Amino acid sequence: MVELLRTNDIVLLSFCEALLRDAGIESVVFDSHTSGVEGSLGILPRRLMVLDEDAVQARAILRQAELLPR
């Protein structure tokens, strides 16, 4: 799996997941359960991951939406 994005912004993560899902790309958010451990402070970032073979297309989609740097 490849990391596309690391952020504390759960709204941004949700939006990225929706964009990828609409394109037929499955994504997984790693570290989402750490918020329970950290007391829901949002200190530890979550990681948006995709399969290696989907990484290029997924990055292109997120760049087109201006959610990743060019």
Domain-embedded: residue 70:
no
Domain-embedded: residue 32:
yes
Q: What is the pTM (predicted TM-score) of this model?
A: 0.85
Q: Which domain holds residue 60?
A: 2-64
Interstrand relation of 46-50 and 2-7 (parallel, antiparallel or unpaired): antiparallel
Residues 17-58 have pLDDT tens digits of 999 999 999 999 998 877 556 666 667 889 999 999 999 999
Neighbours of 11 (CB within 10 A): 8
Asked if the model's pLDDT at residue 61 lies above 70, the reply is yes
Domains identified in the chain, total number: 1
pLDDT of residue 44: 83
pLDDT of residue 36: 58
CB 31 within 8 A of CB 45: yes
